[in-house]
């Protein structure tokens, strides 16, 4: 007994791709992704190495050196030779407000001064360094009778170094 197989020749039709649903998805998805995207701003901070005073020059005015030493347990302000102010940590955080007030007073004494040195101990967290750099560059002052905070430039030219 032989079985016969019937072979039918089917004509293959080209299937149309329905992209309507895909386009509908893209129309909704693309605006949603653009709205929820986080656009980050990259800023570059120009830093210098601390300058050593050269012995050959004798300036008309004595050079004023402002150094902020960032230690794990405290902040110190020095004039290059001796420690003038010390700010202990408050509730585990560096006292940036007191530092900013003192730097504002120093800026008022030495208005022409634009540079400061930040000396950092090892194992200091990056966020602490950035917070101190911001406090050295700009002070936020609230004037009496005003609600808005005014940003007063202090020492925009910052040099970084290792703490002694």
> Could you tell me which of 41, 38, 45, 37 has the C-alpha nearest to residue 126?
45
pLDDT band at 50 (very low <50, low <70, confident <90, very high): low
Torsional sign, CA 80, 82, 86, 92: positive
How far is the C-alpha of 164 from the C-alpha of 161, rounded, in Å? Answer: 9
Please state the domain extents for the chain. Answer: 67-162
Tens of pLDDT, residue by residue over 63-117, are 778 899 999 999 999 987 888 899 998 888 888 889 998 999 988 888 888 889 9
pLDDT greater than 90 at residue 8: no
Q: How far, in Å, CA of 18 to CA of 100, rounded?
A: 65
- Angstrom distance (rounded) from CA 158 to CA 129: 12
Structure confidence at residue 161 (pLDDT):
87
Burial class (CB in 10 A: 0-12, 13-18, 19+), 126: exposed
Residue 35 has pLDDT above 60, yes or no: yes
> Looking at 26-30, 48-52, 104-108, which range is the least confident one?
48-52
* Distance separating alpha carbons of residues 139 and 154, to the nearest angstrom: 7
116-158 pLDDT, tens digit per residue, is: 999 999 989 988 999 999 999 988 887 777 777 778 889 888 8
pLDDT of residue 28: 92
pLDDT of residue 70: 92
CA separation for the pair 4, 131 (Å, rounded): 88
pLDDT of the residue at 148: 76
pTM greater than 0.95:
no
The pLDDT value given to residue 24: 92
Is the pLDDT score of 61 beyond 60? Answer: no
* Residue 4: predicted pLDDT: 63
């Amino acid at each position: 007994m032989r079985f016969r197989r019937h072979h039918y020749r089917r004509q293959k039709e080209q299937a149309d791709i329905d992209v309507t649903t895909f386009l509908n998805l893209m129309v909704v998805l693309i605006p949603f992704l653009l709205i929820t995207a986080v656009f980050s701003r990259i800023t570059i901070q120009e830093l210098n190495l601390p300058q050593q005073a050269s012995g050959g020059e004798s300036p008309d005015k004595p050079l004023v050196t402002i150094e902020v030493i960032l230690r794990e347990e405290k902040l110190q302000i020095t004039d290059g030779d001796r420690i003038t102010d010390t700010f202990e940590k408050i509730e585990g955080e560096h006292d940036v407000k007191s530092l900013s007030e003192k730097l504002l007073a120093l800026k008022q004494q030495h208005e022409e001064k634009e540079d400061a040195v930040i000396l950092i101990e090892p194992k200091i967290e990056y966020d602490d360094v950035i917070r101190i750099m911001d406090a050295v560059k700009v002070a936020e002052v609230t004037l009496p009778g005003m609600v808005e905070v005014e940003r007063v430039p202090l020492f925009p030219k910052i040099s970084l170094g290792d703490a002694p």
